[in-house]
Amino acid sequence: MAQLYFYYSAMNAGKSTSLLQSSYNYRERGMNTFVLTAAIDDRAGVGKVASRIGIETDAYAFDSNDNLSEIINKRHSREHQHCILIDEAQFLSKQQVKQLTYVVDCLDIPVLCYGIKTDFQGELFPGSHYLLAWSDKLIELKTICHCGRKANMILRLDSEGKPVREGEQVEIGGNDTYESVCRKHFRPYFWD
């Protein structure tokens, strides 16, 4: 029976690497995978999922208006899909997460979502909120803070490398813009 999985973490925990490895494992067995990623994150190029370790694949770039169950169903009717993999899942809408539950429950295709749990202010992203609520399996991928503890929070940095407290929830960036930290090192900026 298919299930909806949510692999979540702070930044730099290897989410994209894990997604690419999962897709490779299916394809190595002669199975079809359909990889999707949020169009808003074009750091590797539109329609690309890339890992910091240098591997990448083409992907369908979705935006918040796309009906994912329709897109997946059309592809599935042309070529049987054995697994759906979604990178940057924090950018899914509530409706899109519902659509993914349809893919799992009605099309019987496993869906593996990979994303960040919280933003730079410690608030859940909409996609993460509903994936945490509705997924069959939750898997935390771990990364570490500069102190060696598990990093479960994210700081957004200004151009001088100092943490910022305010701003839009979404600002696309990498290591020059964000730092994964433990709660102890997040606390002084938002909770003390």
Q: What is the pLDDT of residues 105-139, one digit of tens each?
A: 999 999 999 999 999 899 999 999 999 999 999 99
Q: Which of 28, 88, 160, 166 is catalytic?
A: 88
Reply yes or no on whether the pLDDT at 25 is more than 90.
yes
pTM > 0.95: no
- How much is the pLDDT for 172? 63
| CB 26 within 8 Å of CB 82 | yes
Side chain identity at residue 8, one-letter code? Y
Above pLDDT 90, what percent of the chain?
68
Side chain identity at residue 74, one-letter code? K
Summary mean pLDDT of the chain: 90
| CB 160 within 8 Å of CB 153 | no
The top-level CATH class assigned to 4-142 is alpha beta
Stretch 3-24: mean pLDDT: 93
Stretch 31-48: mean pLDDT: 84
Contacts of 124 (CB under 8 A, 6+ apart): 117, 118, 132
The answer to whether 88 is a known catalytic residue is: yes
